[in-house]
């Protein structure tokens, strides 16, 4: 299979209804928490248009965000904080956020599908699905909940720490963000363990 070809549809070994999809958003940014969400869809209340949140417009994500919360059998959103990211590293913080999300589900799943190729340390029967947010509806729904939640939080952080443009780039290392870091130094919302932030932190000591 060539690198640019779509992956085949995922065939899940679990056939019951208490199937949760879990995904995280925010591994790449220099600022803000990493946010995870998990969703158990209700087969009796299907949701049209679910897809990888990165491939949807903001308007479409917002619409689906409300539909998922209205129609899903169960859902939860959790996070790992900036301090935890700096302490654990971003991979382990992401896995921690996903574990917290699934553990907080009001209805506990019988099987969990995890986006990516690594799974959290937990007791749930599960499978990992590479690019699962584009292959599994429940993971796509989770990616939308996580993305919208985190984007909204970055707008709030932008108000708390003006000058960095967090509402626009959502904490990702854009040219404008790096220029702001160089001029202002890192804010309390920045991940001190990330190389660009660490570099500018040293300059402001």
Q: What is the pLDDT of residue 195?
A: 93
Contacts of 3 by beta carbon, 8 Å cutoff, 6+ apart: none
Residues 59, 118 within the same domain: yes
- 82-111 CB burial, b ≥16 within 10 A, e <16: bebbbeeebebbbbbbbbbbbeebeeebeb
User: How does pLDDT run across 141-181, given as a tens digit for each residue?
Assistant: 999 999 999 999 999 999 999 999 999 999 999 999 999 99
Q: What is the pLDDT of residue 29?
A: 98
Number of domains in the chain: 2
CA distance 58 to 122: 33
Q: Which residues are annotated as a binding site?
A: 23-24, 115
> Is the residue at 36 inside a domain?
yes
> Is the residue at 130 inside a domain?
yes
Residues 99, 175 within the same domain: no
User: How does pLDDT run across 18-31, given as a tens digit for each residue?
Assistant: 999 999 999 999 99
Pick from 137, 158, 179: which residue ends a domain?
Answer: 158
Residues 30, 47 within the same domain: yes
Pick from 158, 176, 194: which residue ends a domain?
Answer: 158
User: How does pLDDT run across 108-126, given as a tens digit for each residue?
Assistant: 999 999 999 999 999 999 9
Residues 90, 123 within the same domain: yes
Closest-CA residue to 25 (of 118, 129, 140, 110): 140
> Is the residue at 49 inside a domain?
yes
- 39-76 CB burial, b ≥16 within 10 A, e <16: bbbeeeeebeebbbbeebeeeebeebbebbeebbbbbb
What residue numbers bound the domain in which 111 lies? Answer: 19-158
Q: State the pLDDT confidence band at 8, using cuts at 50, 70 and 90.
A: confident
Q: What is the pLDDT of residue 9?
A: 80
Residues 114, 182 within the same domain: no
Query: What are the DSSP calls for 96-114, one per residue?
Result: HHHHHHHHT-SS--SEEEE
Residues 110, 45 within the same domain: yes
Q: State the pLDDT confidence band at 204, using cuts at 50, 70 and 90.
A: low
User: How does pLDDT run across 69-115, given as a tens digit for each residue?
Assistant: 999 999 999 999 999 999 999 999 999 999 999 999 999 999 999 99
For all residues of the chain together, what is the average pLDDT?
94
User: How does pLDDT run across 183-192, given as a tens digit for each residue?
Assistant: 999 999 999 9
Residues 104, 176 within the same domain: no
The domain spanning residue 84 has which CATH number? 3.30.420.10
Q: State the pLDDT confidence band at 2, using cuts at 50, 70 and 90.
A: very low
Q: Which residues are annotated as a binding site for a divalent metal cation?
A: 23-24, 115
Q: State the pLDDT confidence band at 201, using cuts at 50, 70 and 90.
A: confident
Residues 146, 171 within the same domain: no
């Amino acid at each position: 299979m060539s690198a640019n070809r779509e992956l085949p549809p995922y065939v899940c070994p679990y056939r019951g209804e208490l199937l949760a999809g879990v995904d995280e958003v925010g591994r790449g940014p220099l600022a803000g928490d990493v946010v995870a969400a998990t969703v158990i869809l209700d087969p009796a209340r299907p949701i049209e248009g679910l897809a990888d949140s990165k491939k949807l417009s903001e308007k479409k994500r917002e619409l689906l965000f409300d539909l998922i919360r209205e129609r899903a059998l169960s859902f939860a959103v959790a996070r790992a904080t900036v301090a935890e990211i700096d302490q654990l590293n971003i991979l382990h913080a992401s896995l921690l956020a996903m574990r917290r999300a699934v553990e907080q589900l009001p209805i506990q799943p019988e099987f969990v599908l995890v986006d990516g190729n690594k799974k959290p340390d937990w007791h749930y029967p599960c499978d990992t699905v590479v690019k699962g947010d584009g292959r599994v509806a429940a993971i796509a729904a989770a990616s939308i909940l996580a993305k919208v939640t985190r984007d909204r939080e970055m707008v709030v952080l932008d108000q708390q720490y003006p000058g960095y443009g967090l509402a626009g780039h959502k904490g990702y290392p854009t040219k404008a963000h790096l220029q702001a870091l160089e001029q202002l130094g890192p804010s309390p919302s920045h991940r001190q363990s990330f190389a660009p932030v660490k570099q500018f932190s040293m300059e402001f000591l």
